[in-house]
Amino acid sequence: MVSKNALKQLGQLGQKKFRKEHGLFAVEGTKSIATFLAHGFQLAHCFTVEKGSQNTLDAEIITANDIKKLSNLSTPAKYWAAFKLPQQNAYVAQGLNLALDGIRDPGNLGTIIRLCDWFGIHQLICSTDTVDCFNPKVVQASMGSLAKVQVQYVDLISIIKQHNLVAIGTDMQGENIYSTTLPKNAILVMGNEGKGISEEVNSILKQKISVPSYGTPAAESLNVAMATGILLSEFRRKV
C-alpha cells in the first residue's frame, strides 16, 4: 500500500522543480497511460479508484479523495500514473522541422505536440523559455502524443545553424503561405502568443510567411496552435 508521504510527493509533480527532483511526470486517463506504456516509457506508479474486472491496468486501488489530491483535473480520471522522465536523444533534422520560441500556454504546447504527431514530426525543438512539456496540462492536452514526439529544449539559433536549416517564421506581413514557394530543408518557427518571435531568432529568419485572413473585418490574429496546424498542412502539401 502506498504511504501518505509517497502520495504527497507524487502530488507535487504538478511543479517543474519536483518533476526534476523526483525524475517523474504524471499522466492521467486509461488511454494516455496505455499509450505511454506502449511506447516504452517506464512506469513508476499507477493508481485507480476502480475495483474488480474494470481494473484494466496493473494499478493499485486508492480512494477517490487520494486520487483527487494527485490529479490536475477538476474532475479526476479514474486512473493516474507517474512515469520516469525519459532520456533525450540528439536532435536529427527531418524532412519537416518545427521550432517553438517562447510558447507559454500549456494548452497550446500540448495541441502543437498532437499536431507534430499527426504530421509525422518526431522531434520538436523549443527555446528554453517555452513551457515544460511534462507540465500536467501539456501532457493532458497532448492526448498521448507526447509519448511519440520527443521535445527538446535547446538554443534554437545554434541548432538551426548546426543543421543548416532554412528558418521560416510567421509574420502578419509575411508572404501568403498558399502562394509562396517553400524550401525542403526548412524549419518553421512559431513565436510567443503575445510577443511573437524573439529578436534574436528573428534575425536569422530567411523567409517570413503568413496565413491570409478572408474575414471582413479580420480577426486580430490566429491562436498559435491553430496557425501551426494550418502551416504544417501547407508544408506537407508542398514540400
Per-residue model confidence (pLDDT) at position 228: 98
Beta-strand pair 60-61/43-48: parallel
**Using one digit for the tens of pLDDT, what is the confidence trace for 149-162?**
999 999 999 999 99
d(CA 37, CA 237): 32
24-28 sheet: strands from edge to edge: 24-28, 79-84, 43-48, 60-61
Close Cβ partners of 110 (under 8 Å, ≥ 6 residues apart): 137, 138, 139, 140, 141, 142, 143, 146
Is the pLDDT score of 234 beyond 90?
A: yes
Close Cβ partners of 174 (under 8 Å, ≥ 6 residues apart): 207, 208, 209, 210
What structural domains and CATH numbers belong to the chain?
A: 4-84 (3.30.1330.30), 97-238 (3.40.1280.10)
Per-residue model confidence (pLDDT) at position 55: 64
For the entire predicted model, the pTM comes to 0.94
For 71, the grid coordinates are 490529479
Q: Which of 76-85, 182-191, 217-226 has the least mean pLDDT?
A: 217-226
- Predicted confidence band at 226 (pLDDT cuts at 50, 70, 90)? very high
% of the chain residues with pLDDT over 90: 87
Mean pLDDT of 40-51: 93
Per-residue model confidence (pLDDT) at position 54: 64
- Predicted confidence band at 53 (pLDDT cuts at 50, 70, 90)? low
Is the pLDDT score of 10 beyond 90?
A: yes
Is the pLDDT score of 40 beyond 90?
A: yes
Mean pLDDT of 192-204: 96
- Ranges of H-type helices in the chain: 4-10, 16-22, 30-38, 64-70, 106-118, 136-142, 156-162, 199-202, 224-238
- Predicted confidence band at 6 (pLDDT cuts at 50, 70, 90)? very high
Q: What are residue 36's phi and psi, to 5 degrees?
A: -65, -40
Residue 26's DSSP bridge partners are 82
Close Cβ partners of 148 (under 8 Å, ≥ 6 residues apart): 35, 39, 117, 122
Mean pLDDT of 203-232: 92
- Predicted confidence band at 1 (pLDDT cuts at 50, 70, 90)? confident
